[in-house]
Structure 1
Amino acid sequence: MNDNINEDKTEKPTEYHIKKFRKKGETKYSRELNAVLILLCSSVILWWCKEKIFFQFCQIMLHSLSFNSGIIKNKKDMILDFLFYLKEVIISFFPFFLCIVLIIIFPSIFFSGIQFNFRSLKFDLNKINPILGFKKIFSFKIIIEFFKLIFKILLIGSIAYWYLFICFSQVFILLSEYPQDSFLHGFRIICNCCVFMILGLIPIVILDVIWKEFSYYKKLKMTHQEKKDEYKETEGNPNIKMRIRQRMKLIANRRMMADIPKADVIITNPIHYSIALKYDYECMSAPQVIAKGTGIIAVQIQKIGMKYDISIISAPSLARSLYRYSEIGQYIPGPLYKAVAEVLAWVWKVKQWKKEGGVVPKKPKNISVPSDLNFTGQYKKNG
């Protein structure tokens, strides 16, 4: 058991294992990439809609700073005004919020697919276990994430400080400009600062994406024992499957043996192969194979044939070809029609002889089989 636990994961994951892994909520999508995409797209949207946002806020500020004693006395008007301006703010920032929602949803679907993980909603006492909670807090993964967060804060802070230090003189100029120009100028400085911060995060994102890919596929890999267990889980136990196949084969053989009395002729090798054929010229387009077998099964077919007085003829090459190139319940192959017709002609003469008597019909000899259907391989034992 310990050997299985310590076994290295060297096997490639199967499709079933990947699906099972995803159901647990494991994905290869980078959170750093998601964060940078949100920052980038939100900055672009804010820059694109800056004039509209500025205009809306100017309207709100002008209306809010104008004194009206009627509004103060009437609480209902105050609530209506508040709701009106709240609606204006939401409309102004709607493209911004919509962009953030789309950036959160679509990349995760693209990289990981739609996965509804309801296991996290399941009640589990281990989730409120303080010991396990402390273990998770001080786990290696959390420590790495903590240092990564500190590094990002320092990096972003350094970039922001560097850019604002360079633009320090422009920040002072904002005080001497008209309010509208000052707002747009300040907005431009902030957006440029955001762009530089995003560019600074790109190396971290690239490294995080590569690491996520590596760790995800490393987790996906399987041990040899896991592959064997999965095969048993998906395909079933090989021993049970073998017993089922044997049982099905036995049932099929019984059904085949029950159909032999309907046969018109049995063609043999004479011991190794036996093929039972049935032909009704009124409703069948060609002779049909209703039973076939080798070894013990072949002998059983012949015994049943003798019991029910079915004509038996020895034609080794024809028996081998019929066994090789025909299936039970199907018509015989077209190239063998001529050879089988000779046999059926003899069968018809035997039936007439049994009814009327006379000279015993001679069995056809040297029945020829087309060279491309001449099967000379060794038989496989049945039973």
Structure 2
Amino acid sequence: MADAQDKTLPASERKRRKAREQGQVARSPDFGHFLAIAIGGWLLVKWAPDIGQWMQQILMQGLRFDHALLQNPRLMGERAATLAAQMLMVVVPVGVVMALVGVASACLSGGWNFSTQALAPKFEKFNPLTGIAKLFGKDQLIGALKSTLLAAVLGTVGTLYLQSRIEEFSATLTMPLPAAIQHAMSASLTGLIQVVITLALFAAIDVPYQRWKLSESLKMSHQDVKDEYKEVEGNQEIKQKMKVKMREMARKRMLAAVPNADLVVMNPTHYAVALQYDEKKMGAPRVVALGADLLALRIRDIAREAKVPVLQAPPLARALYQHGELDKEIPGALFSAVAQVLAYVYQLRAAMAGEAPQPGELPELPVPPELDPHNPAAQARQPRGKR
């Protein structure tokens, strides 16, 4: 009971969709009764003359006997089969129409829904104790009261109608059969209309009631909403661990690319950016690794172990860290500064190989002030989030 009281939130779209997949749809039996009686009555009125003639012919053929039929019982069987086939020619189309009416009434009240899950056996329903408990449940009690009330109202309507037309129906006993059939159908039309109106009133109440009942049964508690969110979005702790794991894997791949870099630019310990350039494959130098603080020191150590030149160029290192993208080419505004650094590195390598004189100090690099996050011109602009 406490759990039912906690379910005060409307069902989510996902829960409604799952309920439909399981066959839980708002179906109104009263609406089906109304539509079946209304369509059946309309067909009866529309086809009344033809039905009267057909019934007259069937009765005449069925009550006609001759000497051959009495002498040969096999012929009587054939006569019965012929009459049954003639009857099926009328009954089967009417049955097909009424079956379509049943499907249409279900679709109109709850929409089209085909679910194989509803056909799957549920062994818990074979438990007699569970079945007995459901017999005395609230839904069963309401359904029984509603059916009893409908039967009582229809019985009252039918009784009052027959009492008011008793002489009219009695008159059919004195009429020939064809006229009696036509007269009985005509006299029954008003009563049929009263029954249809009564069923329409019950259906007008039952359709919204069934929808409300389904909506109430699908309501969720706050815990249900949380559980569904975890199921849809995934456990946040697991997702956080996955993000940490992915960052760690990306960091390892980035550090593995440092030995293949052409140089590392530092600031001198806070930022480190590793650059790689192949004039045959790249249009501009590419950032293969970047980091700050401890990660910057790790990049520096790996570079020194791999004998990759490490240069102290604070403004350029800060600008590359702030505006560069991993595994992408450097910003166009830094091409000139990076080109001078690469030229210096190439001169340094040539000097170490004895092919050129030792270069002097690294010249001042043309780093645009607005790209250096420590420059007042850049601080006046809104900073971009750090990686």
Displacement of 1:128? 4.5
Q: What TM-score does the superposition give when structure 1 sets the normalisation length?
A: 0.82
Summarize the Cα distance change of 1:199–1:379 in structure 2 as closer, same or farther, 3 Å threshold: closer
Tell me the residue number matched to 2:383: 377
Unaligned segments of structure 2, at least 5 residues: none
Summarize the Cα distance change of 1:176–1:39 in structure 2 as closer, same or farther, 3 Å threshold: same
Alignment of 1:166-315 (within 5 A): 166-268=164-266, 271-308=269-306, 309-312=308-311, 313-314=313-314, 315=316
Check the 8 A contact 1:264/1:276 in 2, yes or no. yes
Tell me the residue number matched to 2:115: 115
Check the 8 A contact 1:267/1:276 in 2, yes or no. yes
1:294-322 C-alpha deviation (Å, 9 max, x unpaired): 34323322332333314544315522442
Summarize the Cα distance change of 1:46–1:348 in structure 2 as closer, same or farther, 3 Å threshold: farther
The yes-or-no answer on 1:365 pairing with 2:358 is: no
Check the 8 A contact 2:275/2:287 in 1, yes or no. yes
> What letter is aligned with 1:123?
F
Alignment of 1:347-362 (within 5 A): 347-355=342-350, 356-358=355-357, 359-360=359-360, 362=362
- Alpha-carbon distance in structure 1 between the residues aligned to 2:317 and 2:6: 57
Check the 8 A contact 1:260/1:291 in 2, yes or no. yes
Summarize the Cα distance change of 1:349–1:144 in structure 2 as closer, same or farther, 3 Å threshold: same
Displacement of 1:154? 1.5
Tell me the residue number matched to 1:134: 132
Q: Secondary structure at the match of 2:9?
A: coil
Further displaced range: 90-99 or 263-272: 263-272
Tell me the residue number matched to 1:96: 94
RMSD: 3.2
Check the 8 A contact 2:9/2:220 in 1, yes or no. yes
- Alpha-carbon distance in structure 2 between the residues aligned to 1:285 and 1:238: 42
Q: 2:159 aligns with which of 158, 161, 176?
A: 161
Check the 8 A contact 1:11/1:223 in 2, yes or no. yes
Summarize the Cα distance change of 1:79–1:11 in structure 2 as closer, same or farther, 3 Å threshold: same
Further displaced range: 68-77 or 249-258: 68-77
Summarize the Cα distance change of 1:28–1:66 in structure 2 as closer, same or farther, 3 Å threshold: same
> What letter is aligned with 1:90?
L
Displacement of 1:44? 2.0
Check the 8 A contact 2:6/2:221 in 1, yes or no. yes
Displacement of 1:90? 2.2
1:310-348 C-alpha deviation (Å, 9 max, x unpaired): 45443155224424xx3x33445xxx2242343134314
The yes-or-no answer on 1:318 pairing with 2:311 is: no
Displacement of 1:39? 1.6
Q: Equivalent pairs: percent with the same residue? A: 22
> What letter is aligned with 1:347?
L
Q: Secondary structure at the match of 1:377?
A: coil
Displacement of 1:285? 4.2
Check the 8 A contact 1:267/1:275 in 2, yes or no. yes
- Alpha-carbon distance in structure 2 between the residues aligned to 1:14 and 1:240: 24
Tell me the residue number matched to 2:9: 11
> What letter is aligned with 2:319?
L
Q: 1:339 aligns with which of 334, 337, 344?
A: 334
Unaligned segments of structure 1, at least 5 residues: none
Summarize the Cα distance change of 1:157–1:6 in structure 2 as closer, same or farther, 3 Å threshold: closer
Across the two proteins, how many residue pairs are aligned to each other? 370
Check the 8 A contact 1:272/1:379 in 2, yes or no. no
Check the 8 A contact 1:275/1:291 in 2, yes or no. yes
Check the 8 A contact 1:339/1:369 in 2, yes or no. no
Tell me the residue number matched to 2:146: 148
Summarize the Cα distance change of 1:330–1:96 in structure 2 as closer, same or farther, 3 Å threshold: farther
Q: 1:36 aligns with which of 24, 34, 37?
A: 34
The yes-or-no answer on 1:59 pairing with 2:60 is: no
